[in-house]
Amino acid sequence: MRKWLQAGIVLMALHTGAIAQQKDEIDSSYANGYYMERMRFFSRLQPSTTNLVAFVGNSITEAGPWQEVLPGVNVINRGISGDNSWGVLARIDSVLVLKPAKIFLMIGVNDLKRGTPVEYIARNYERIVTRIRQQQPQTRIFLQSVLPVAEQGLAAIYQKISNKRVSILNDSLRQVAVRYNCEYVDLNREVFSDANGQLKKELTTDNLHLKHAGYLEWAAYLTNKGLVGSTPAAKTNQIDSSYNNTYYQGRMELFNSLPVVKNGILLLGNSITERGPWWELLPGETVLNRGIGGDNTFGVLARLEGVAKAEPRKLFLLIGINDLSRGLPIPVILNNYRRILTYLRQNTPRTKIYVQSVLPLNEAVTQPAYLKNKKDSILTLNKGIQQIAAEFGLTYLNLHPLFADKNGDLKKELTADGIHLRPPAYVIWVDYLRKNKYL
């Protein structure tokens, strides 16, 4: 495993030297800190190689809960947020060493984001496919079309991505598939485009990335075409990733109407954060309470642009209990955590980020059925959150034992309803942060 990682680093260095001679307006860089972090993570994994299916791409692939939406399929996720066609070319050997039976490739939107000409991207596809053919001729190659975007409301950093350019690129990829005897999968037109050629609003969080429902549609399409294994239809109705209700909209209207205050302490989360009397507990500090009652990781993802604009000095993140209460799979929640942290790292790099554990419940007190039998799920989720914090080199704050009794339940004296905190609990919370010099 280490040999191909070292070889990949050498290839990156050679490639960096080669592209230095290209025109200045073409940005083909990819080997940033997050890319290298993911590569090191991949190098430590030892997946089963029996009938292995590899999904390779950027953040759209990385965020996919493939093992959940493709049960029974031996699938690995080799998505790297921010990656482009040069980055995939540099690391495809690390996928091929596993001898996958199938590779599903989708890359190019970040190339378009940087203004890279379509012919450069198509040429890199040819190089990638040639490498696969040379090293693993038995591997089936699926070139998946680049997805559409919802152009109206697309963030400014994505303005170079137009559906016209996406369509031109996809036409080129279709030609590459024909020339190199690959299978072209037209997800753009057959799954994700609306009648106007835009990314379906109900399937996107930010006009570019996908909601969980989008991955269910994607997996169902691949399954129905006989390209991968089966997807249980029942799951579609069990998963509720919605967040954009009237209360959420009201809070967002408030946030958007407030003046942008920078260099403060920002608390990001759901009702547990929202209800905190942070101003009284942190006198003299500039405090931004960005809690929204009922919010989940999808909702946080959708509002990160406003968070990043504040460029907070410190950010305390606590989210996830509403995801669990709606039955969202833990891998989906953790993928969202990666997407949240990736965005924050890229868009407010000077912010000190603290990732806080999900708090315990007291199920003897909670009334709603959807809050029952969550104790083990909370512990499992927290373990995953801690691992992700370590991957990103961030401080993980394990608040769970601070509020738990000897049975692992939320202390009765600190809650009225088994989930939300009484005011004294916030005093304990802030005292803990101060004692450990996080504030």
Domain parsing of the chain, residue ranges: 2-237, 246-435
Q: What is the DSSP string of 1-21?
A: -HHHHHHHHHHHHHHHHHHTT
CA torsion 281→285→286→289, rounded to 10°? Answer: -20
Mean pLDDT of 9-15: 44
- Confidence at residue 25, expressed as pLDDT on a 0 to 100 scale: 56
Domain 246-435 is found in CATH 3.40.50.1110: yes
Whether the pLDDT of residue 238 is over 80: the answer is no
Task: Please give the span between the terminal C-alpha atoms of the chain, in angstroms, as a whole number.
Answer: 41
In tens, the pLDDT along 351-369 reads 999 999 999 999 998 888 8
269-288 pLDDT tens trace: 999 999 999 999 999 999 99
pLDDT at site 314: 98
**Selection from 174, 180, 199, 177 nearest residue 189 by Cα:** 199
Q: Is-same-fold flag (2-237; 246-435)?
A: yes
Q: Which two tokens stand for residue 343?
A: 């965005």
Question: What are all long-range contacts of 30-34, with beta carbons under 8 Å and residues at least 24 apart?
Answer: 30/82, 30/83, 30/84, 30/86, 30/87, 30/90, 31/87, 31/90, 32/82, 34/80, 34/81, 34/82, 34/342, 34/345
Please give the average per-residue pLDDT across 130-158, as a whole number.
92
Residue 377: which pLDDT band, with cuts at 50, 70 and 90? very high
The whole-angstrom separation of Cα 378 and Cα 357 is: 9
CATH code assigned to 2-237: 3.40.50.1110
* Rounded Cα distance, 8 and 389, in Å: 25
H or E element: which one contains 142?
strand 140-144
- Residue 49 confidence (pLDDT): 87
Segment 90-94 mean pLDDT: 96
Q: Which of 12-21, 163-172, 257-266 shows the lowest per-residue confidence on average (mean pLDDT)?
A: 12-21
* Residue 10 scores a pLDDT above 60: no
| H/E stretch holding 183 | strand 183-185
- In this prediction, residue 22 carries a pLDDT of 41
Model confidence at 138, in pLDDT bands (50, 70, 90)? confident
Q: Which amino acid is at 302?
A: A
pLDDT of 293 above 90: yes
Helices (H), 136-238: 163-179, 187, 212-224, 234-238
**pLDDT tens, residue by residue, 197-221:** 999 999 998 999 999 889 999 998 8
- Segment among 22-36, 107-121, 251-265 with least mean pLDDT: 22-36
What is the C-alpha to C-alpha distance for residues 383 and 380, in angstroms, rounded to an integer?
Answer: 5
Kind of pairing between the strands at 395-397 and 183-185 = unpaired
384 φ, ψ to 5°? Answer: -65, -40
